[in-house]
Structure 1
Amino acid sequence: MNVYMEEMNPQKITLRDGFWCNRNQLLSEVIIPYQWDTLNNRTEGVPLSHAVDNFRIAAKEMDGTPGGTIFQDSDVAKWIEAAAYSLMHHPNSELESSIDELVRLIGESQHSNGYVNTFYTAKGIEQRWTDLEMGHELYCAGHLIEASVAYYQATGKRKLMDIMVLYANLIAEEFGPEEGKLHSYDGHPEIELALYRLAEATEDSRYMDLADYFMNIRGSIKRDATGASDKEERKPRSRWLTPDYFLEQKPIREMTEVTGHSVRAMYLYAGVADQYRRTGDQTLWDTLLSLWDSLEQRSVYITGGIGSQSHGERFTIDYDLPPDRGYTETCASIGLIFWAWRMSLIDPDNRYADMIEKQMYNGALSGISLDGKAYFYVNPLEIKPKVAAFRQDMEHVLTHRAGWFDCACCPTNIARLFGSIGKYIYSSTDTSIYIHQFISSETEIVLGDELVSLRQETKYPWHEEILISCTMEHQKHFGLMLRKPRWCDAWTLEINGMPCTSYCLEKGYIHIDRMWNDGDTVQLKLEMTVKLIQADSRAQDYCGKVALMRGPLVYCLEEFDNGPQLQELIINSESNFELEEEILQSIPSIHILLDGYRETVRTDSLYEHMKKNERIKVRLKAIPYYQWGNRAKDQEMRVWNRFI
């Protein structure tokens, strides 16, 4: 049933003019320098990071005690990974020197046994592994390992990877099923993803075995009512921080519904997919399918956001998706991309690539401003600034993007997503090439004994046309698989300028199987109509409301265009939708103009007997959700609106 897919190194994919090329240019020119300054406490008006100074302190090159969160090392790691991806296509000797100096500091901070962690270096490494639920040691180790592999791929420099190999060896010595070792795992999954990646980079299967161990033991250790295990001592937990929060309520193979901390969950499920690809264990695949259905059918926002409660940053119950109080953390959306991508590599079904697309253009993308210098940790679908600023149960909701956070996991995470976006475009088998995302790009793929070069040209997601050109030395028979997004109801397909009907649909992919020649072209046109989307009525917050979508983009109404009190607006479902092309902060955009009404009810007292209220016709303007909050601060915004 499942197909082994080759994942492509981002270094093998070149982005061309277009949506994501522009953002990768922004990554190189603005985001990475801004984040480097911030990690070094050089950005004014934002919380101090301490992240780089912590390594200076651990290396005994600076006095003081570590600052920031217990997992501050991970910010440095994710920045290195993002910078490594940037170097693959934007060589920068100054940036590379900065990374090399940082690698030197990490090496100087490493203990003789291989241990690397600035917080526990200060606390005393004899305290290591004493708080595996919340200490994030293996989580930080995982991010450093992933950074080391990316930097090695980008530059061929092994120093950081050698440092992390020593650390991974220490972890393998101290954790495992053998007597005398620690029989436990980290409260925040991440080390598993990193170990699978390190095993591939080093061709050392020991790291895969260790990752498998961490996966298999999860949920088999019974913690007491306080959450304590072995030498861990925990304070009593609230009802929302029970074992399911840590994804340890049961062994992985018995899980059927998404639960717990949303980022932890996504990283764990991505790890389960990695383990399945390694082992082929059918029970793992059955688990993955159950978990995916649980998320996709009952627990995800229309934008792709996940995690509907701030306390515990977690999932709650099915269909509980409040638009104004939801957590919808940027990191959770990015984690869902990691999981969905691995599912695509196992089973090429468009529902996985569709989810990646949903995050790329909505749930994750809203987490960063158009200028690359401000961020959302939480991505609400509805905002009323005065309410959010006052209510305790909405204190997690910012009404405008911030330059940084005390807990700054999201900014560096979205940076590494931008840098690695190319890896999600293509994959291949021995006989087929899959195009999962429509992004202007070029790549080369080896099929058997033939090198096939592909070039995509498109103005997606704004425009409907995608032109694909093939270059090869000899004729080659293979299947070209083009994703047909589920939002698309009609499309046309041409090969070399002539209509093509010789294709079939396989799990949402348009399968063209033929003998290909040098210079062949494929033109795919995906009809992008404006759609009104309704939700299952069990999602109580959306009854009697609709959301706007065009292509992969979710749209919203913002106060900047439509005035305040957006709750008074009503969409005319029979509206004549018009598209308005604009340039927003040097970035092309398409806005939607539509008919609607404003129904204003003003009463002498707060409540009055119902009467027929006057509705005034208005022309509404909707913008892509990810763009909200870029033109003015503290603006009202709504994705879901009443309609008639």
Structure 2
Amino acid sequence: MHHPSHIAPVLRAIPHTAVTIADRFWTPRLENNRRRSLFQQYHYLNETGVLANFRNVHQPWDGIYHGLFFSDSDAYKWLEAAGYSLATHPDPRLRRLTDELIRLIAAAQMADGYLNTYFQLVEPEKRFTNFGVCHELYTAGHLIEAGVVHFQATGRPDLLNVARRLADLLTRTFGPGKLEAVDGHAGVELALIRLHRLTGAAAYLDLAAFFINARGRSDSRLRLELAQLERIAGRPGKPGQNNRKHFGSYEAYDGRYAQDHLPVREQSEAVGHAVRATYLYCAMADLAQETGDSALLEALRRIWRHVTARRLYVSGGIGPSRANEGFTRDYDLPNDTACAESCAAVGMVFWNHRMLQLTGEGRFADLMERVLYNAFLAGVSLDGGKYFYNNPLQSQGDCHRREWDECACCPPNIARLLASLGGYIYSLSPGGLAVHLYIQSSVTARLAGGAEFTLRQTGDYPWEGRISLALELAEPADFELRLRLPGWCRSHQLRINGIPADPPLAEGYLVIARRWSPGDSLLLELAMPAERVQAHPRVWQNAQKVALQRGPLLYCLEAADHAVPVEQILLPENAPLTGSFYPDLCGGVVALEGEALAPSLENWADRLYRFAEPAVALRPVRLRAVPYYCWDNREPGAMTVWIPRLNP
């Protein structure tokens, strides 16, 4: 293993089981997820044959494999989401479904530990031959993650035992001098590290390190497969043997799609498939944390700077192209054809959360928050029943959420993040507690010195910037509180027990180190005006346009609120925008309103073009912007995030 120089994580995340959320904004979403989404998703796993695949392994099979190569992974992600939910909200009905599914999965496992229903049913003799597109290791990773979470939630080892038997098969099969391969879809690496953390078994960490370090070799296994397409798996299945589409040819191998183009410590740019990229970066961060390898962290910092400076949507979404579900070139950020997959938003939250623990730097929490409230949250309908696969920033009204897709990776991915949301709010710092997200909640923390205290956070974020924090402790204690000052906030005020305070700012956090007494309280006020945001001039799609933002929320214009087509609305530079709360709009939101202009359409009858006139005839129109996550929850219609600006 590489040990160029040592790093140690700065923060330690507090698990979701230690946090109680009671928040006007998030609680309804978490309730929908727990009471509706999880049961609806289970229904579709059953309805679409995903569960039948497991049954068919040990009963007469009709020859029909249901879904894609990797459909098992949707069941595993669902189990992980259910595990997080059961850990905080025991539910006999949900527990019964998880127990049934675990029995089904365990019964399908082979004697040697192998488990993948596609290969067991369709191509049993070709397992571990097509890593480029068949997702065997990715699917195994999701089983391992589900096993860890289910065990932590219930204390029962039944799913964990299945996961370990499969992981043990992987450690016997892969590694130096054995089968030397990487997976076309990262995911098993971070799963193996989670398993290592739970069990202490070094073999899992070693294998994760092998998979990470094997990327970018000139004799890549993914390249070799291109010369053996006749002999490897994938042809009879769905989505088919599309190795060439993604990786080129043996002679002209292009590993970027799977981040297999360079050794990981030499990578500086985000390339290829966006979800694969973020899962690999998560694994690199986890490996850096376990081994103290600073070269991994340096590579991640370079890649993060590249993403955020050149390849990130204003929503926090990533991946502009639907052709590779990923990255293209710098500043290429089309709005209407954006991929910005919901799973990639989930991956961005995972990755930035890990970077935050490693470094303690608020910019990672800023991006985590931007993604959570925008790119991620847009992926699920307000009622928790429908999902976007792609998240465009402009639509003609023909893009809608669906209850399920054949490629159903997004619904259970959204569910597992929502069910574990409490784990992203707080961390222990060496000197005390860091508050990353302003979500109304309480957390009980035990400090290194043994003192225990409870912090209660109240407020009406993201609609208002007033956050109250109250401390409950048995006796006075010395520790620090770190309160994130969001990157979007231009002015703030802090009071401690009613007295103005001006603590130092470090890495984006207000650091308040003092002796705290029972009943101490803090009031943080973040200014939250409506702001206009502009894009780098090289993003040609957004030239001479602005997006609207208030607090952490990105806004958009929807046809439902306007008498003129939204793409014709022009926003004067000096037009004031006011925010008002509407309890009956999209579940209760602050909408932004103001006077805008639209071109007069007189004298355009039957004409597509005409000579330009010195002054375009404009007429006043009312503008109403709603949070981007709300779009497509009312009657279908056009939507746009970017609005042409009009200089006075």
The TM-score with structure 2 as length reference comes to 0.93
The partner residue of 2:624 within 616, 621, 640 is 621
Residue-by-residue CA offset, 1:106-132 (whole Å, 9 max, x unaligned): 100000001111111102433110111
CA–CA separation in structure 1 for the residues paired with 2:27 and 2:447: 27
CA–CA separation in structure 2 for the residues paired with 1:327 and 1:569: 25
CA–CA separation in structure 2 for the residues paired with 1:541 and 1:32: 38
Residue-by-residue CA offset, 1:537-594 (whole Å, 9 max, x unaligned): 0111111000000000000000000135222110122222222212347722111111
Confirm or deny that 1:8 pairs with 2:28. no
CA–CA separation in structure 2 for the residues paired with 1:188 and 1:471: 46
Pair 1:235–1:511, CA change in 2 (3 A): closer
Pair 1:218–1:581, CA change in 2 (3 A): same
Give the letter aligned to residue 190 of structure 2: L
CA–CA separation in structure 2 for the residues paired with 1:64 and 1:235: 22
CA RMSD of aligned residues (A): 1.8
Give the letter aligned to residue 237 of structure 1: R
Q: State the percentage of identical aligned residues.
A: 38
Residue-by-residue CA offset, 1:437-477 (whole Å, 9 max, x unaligned): 01111111110211121111121111111111111222211
CA–CA separation in structure 2 for the residues paired with 1:253 and 1:270: 14
Please state how far the C-alpha of 1:17 moved relative to its aligned partner.
3.2
CA–CA separation in structure 2 for the residues paired with 1:260 and 1:617: 45
Pair 1:235–1:406, CA change in 2 (3 A): closer
2:561 is matched with 561
Residue-by-residue CA offset, 1:254-303 (whole Å, 9 max, x unaligned): 10111000000010111111111112222112101110000001000000
1:455 is matched with 456
Give the letter aligned to residue 625 of structure 1: Y
SS across alignment from 2:557: strand
1:280-429 → structure 2 map (5 Å cutoff): 280-385=292-397, 399-429=399-429
CA–CA separation in structure 2 for the residues paired with 1:583 and 1:173: 58
1:142 is matched with 141
CA–CA separation in structure 2 for the residues paired with 1:78 and 1:13: 22
Maintained 8 Å contact 1:442/1:455 = yes
2:471 is matched with 470
1:390 is matched with none
CA–CA separation in structure 1 for the residues paired with 2:203 and 2:247: 36
SS across alignment from 2:583: strand
The partner residue of 1:17 within 23, 33, 39 is 23
CA–CA separation in structure 1 for the residues paired with 2:291 and 2:493: 40
Maintained 8 Å contact 1:370/1:585 = no
Maintained 8 Å contact 2:363/2:487 = yes
1:22-421 → structure 2 map (5 Å cutoff): 22-41=28-47, 49-60=48-59, 63-177=62-176, 179=177, 181-220=178-217, 221-222=219-220, 224=223, 227-228=226-227, 232=232, 237-238=244-245, 242-385=254-397, 399-421=399-421
1:437 is matched with 437
Pair 1:61–1:373, CA change in 2 (3 A): farther
Pair 1:415–1:235, CA change in 2 (3 A): closer
2:481 is matched with 480
Please state how far the C-alpha of 1:238 moved relative to its aligned partner.
4.1
SS across alignment from 1:237: helix
SS across alignment from 2:113: coil
Maintained 8 Å contact 1:65/1:122 = no
Give the letter aligned to residue 92 of structure 1: D
Please state how far the C-alpha of 1:24 moved relative to its aligned partner.
1.1
Maintained 8 Å contact 2:382/2:586 = no
Maintained 8 Å contact 2:586/2:633 = no
CA–CA separation in structure 2 for the residues paired with 1:132 and 1:235: 11
CA–CA separation in structure 2 for the residues paired with 1:251 and 1:125: 32
CA–CA separation in structure 1 for the residues paired with 2:296 and 2:479: 31
Maintained 8 Å contact 2:463/2:590 = yes
Give the letter aligned to residue 637 of structure 1: M
Give the letter aligned to residue 295 of structure 1: V
Please state how far the C-alpha of 1:536 moved relative to its aligned partner.
0.6
Maintained 8 Å contact 1:59/1:106 = no
Give the unaligned 5+ runs of structure 2.
Answer: 1-6, 234-240, 249-253
Give the letter aligned to residue 189 of structure 2: E
The TM-score with structure 1 as length reference comes to 0.93
CA–CA separation in structure 2 for the residues paired with 1:29 and 1:169: 35
CA–CA separation in structure 1 for the residues paired with 2:193 and 2:226: 28
1:526 is matched with 526
SS across alignment from 2:365: helix
Residue-by-residue CA offset, 1:342-400 (whole Å, 9 max, x unaligned): 00001111111111111111001101100111111000000113xxxxxxxxxxxx611
SS across alignment from 1:587: coil
SS across alignment from 2:125: helix
Maintained 8 Å contact 2:270/2:306 = yes
1:484-563 → structure 2 map (5 Å cutoff): 484-501=485-502, 503-563=503-563
Bigger Cα displacement from structure 2, 375-384 vs 20-29: 20-29
Please state how far the C-alpha of 1:317 moved relative to its aligned partner.
0.5
Pair 1:95–1:62, CA change in 2 (3 A): farther
Give the letter aligned to residue 125 of structure 2: E
Give the letter aligned to residue 531 of structure 1: E
1:44 is matched with none
CA–CA separation in structure 2 for the residues paired with 1:576 and 1:272: 46
Give the letter aligned to residue 631 of structure 1: R
Maintained 8 Å contact 1:51/1:76 = yes
